[in-house]
Amino acid sequence: MIGPNTDSTLGRPKENRVLENKKILLIVAGGIAAVKVPDLIRRLRERGASVTCILTKGGSQFVTPLTLASLSGNKAYQDLFSLTDEAEMGHIRLCREADILLVAPATADIMAKMTVGIADDLATTALLATDKPVMIAPSMNVMMWTHPATQANLQTLKTREVQVIGPGAGDLACGEVGDGRMAEVPDIIAALSRHFQKSRGEGPLQGYRAVVTSGPTHEPIDPVRYIANRSSGKQGHAVAAALANLGASVTLVTGPTNEPAPDGATIVKVETAAQMMKACSEALPAEILVCAAAVADWSVAGQTGQKIKKGDKAPALKLAENPDILATLSQPGPERPALVIGFAAETENLITNAQLKRASKNCDWIVANDVSTGSGVFSGDANTVHLITADGVEDWPTMAKRAVAERLAERIAKFAERNL
């Protein structure tokens, strides 16, 4: 049935048309996640995209060239030295005619080859010869993914503007559990859609302003020492990046962290809770506020300008309450954002405490997570969160923090579409 949000000619929802007529060169490497590729091709073609596949020798162990050719409607290429194809420099033609190169699954092997510029087959030659955007969907064993070599390769590829989707956390084909699971088909399609929306200066959050807080705050005791917490800023920075990827104009107010600044966001660096409060107030008005920072509840009253010397007795510190950024900015008023989201890091009674926090802070949503000892959330790359809204509690599966951020950003975009 054709509805108001459907294109009457194509019968496809308008939001699915961003991939229409896009040419995608899909490189299928050798991993068990290659079994997801046929469904990926179907979904891409449903959205009007043209898909041409390059299949590596390893990839052919999991899916056949005939399958890829049948589903894509185009020849599936394998051989770098095919006389028919290479008579016209086929590998150059393939990568130059595409709008984007997508490697799915991207194994540790092909990521390593991309990093150092090895071109020993058709896939890696095309990747080295292209001048088009490249996107990868990593897939491998958790130990391979977390190995320093793979992580170093990942960072190198990111500096070259290679876009990375996932991986997610979960059960792996090897029987282990952890990061390394290739992103699901809808997530890959969403990432491709965001890429083309962003390239056109579009996106579901285009025209909306967002303020995101991230990281810890450092509250000085004296010029040398401070009070802080274990927040790394990974989740808050990921949220800022995800909102920017959807087209929002993002101001990221961040405490001290080693996380790289996300692309597309305006960065305001602070140290203390008072500085963060001031920076957030100055960043308003905005339609969206996400308070992901782990703000210290107390600061030291009567700080000394000199280092406190060690004596026979430990000094007594008098603490003063810090400003409550979330509660303050959630209060009704002309500059209150339409959607205010807080984070609740708890060590016990997670859902109950998060629900109480949402009510007491007067915010719209709370993202709750368990940060008790052994959870691995602080400084880790994965998170297990629960979204608390007026409608109830959503229990999200364990995911990479980046995936959590992307899912939250998608929910924010849907809220904006309906309410803003």
Domains identified in the chain and CATH numbers: 18-199 (3.40.50.1950), 209-299+318-419 (3.40.50.10300)
Alpha carbons within 13 A on the beta-carbon side of 286: 25
Q: Dihedrals φ, ψ of 376, to 5°?
A: 75, 10
Least confident of 14-23, 32-41, 91-100, 300-309: 14-23
Tens of pLDDT, residues 376-406? 566 677 888 999 999 999 999 888 888 899 9
For 382, the 3-state DSSP assignment is strand
Catalytic (active site) residue 174: yes
Q: Which residues contact 7 (CB under 8 A, 6 or more apart)?
A: 13, 14, 17
User: Which residues contact residue 192 at a Cβ distance below 8 angstroms, ignoring those fewer than 6 apart?
Assistant: 19, 22, 24, 44, 49, 100, 102, 135
Distance CA 229, CA 247 (A): 32
Residue in 174, 280, 291, 363 annotated catalytic: 174
Burial class (CB in 10 A: 0-12, 13-18, 19+), 122: buried
**What is the pLDDT, as a whole number, of residue 148?**
94
- In one letter, which amino acid is 345? A
Q: DSSP character for 255?
A: -
What's the confidence (pLDDT) of residue 167?
86
Question: Helix (H, G, I), strand (E, B), or coil: what is residue 366?
Answer: strand
Averaged over 301-324, what is the pLDDT?
Answer: 86
Compute the mean pLDDT over every residue in the chain, rounded to the nearest whole number: 87
Percent residues over pLDDT 90 in the chain: 62
- 297 phi and psi angles, rounded to 5 deg: -75, -25
Determine the distance from the C-alpha atom of residue 213 to the mean position of all C-alpha atoms in its chain, rounded to a whole number. 16
pLDDT score, position 144: 92
Distance in angstroms (rounded) separating the CA atoms of residues 408 and 367: 9
Q: For 196-204, which contacts have Cβ atoms below 8 Å and span 24 or more sequence positions?
A: 196/18, 196/19, 196/22, 196/99, 196/100, 197/18, 197/246, 197/247, 198/245, 198/247, 199/133, 201/247, 202/18, 202/247, 203/245, 203/246, 203/247, 203/248, 204/15, 204/246, 204/247, 204/413, 204/416, 204/417
Assign 54 to helix, strand or coil. strand
SS3 51: strand
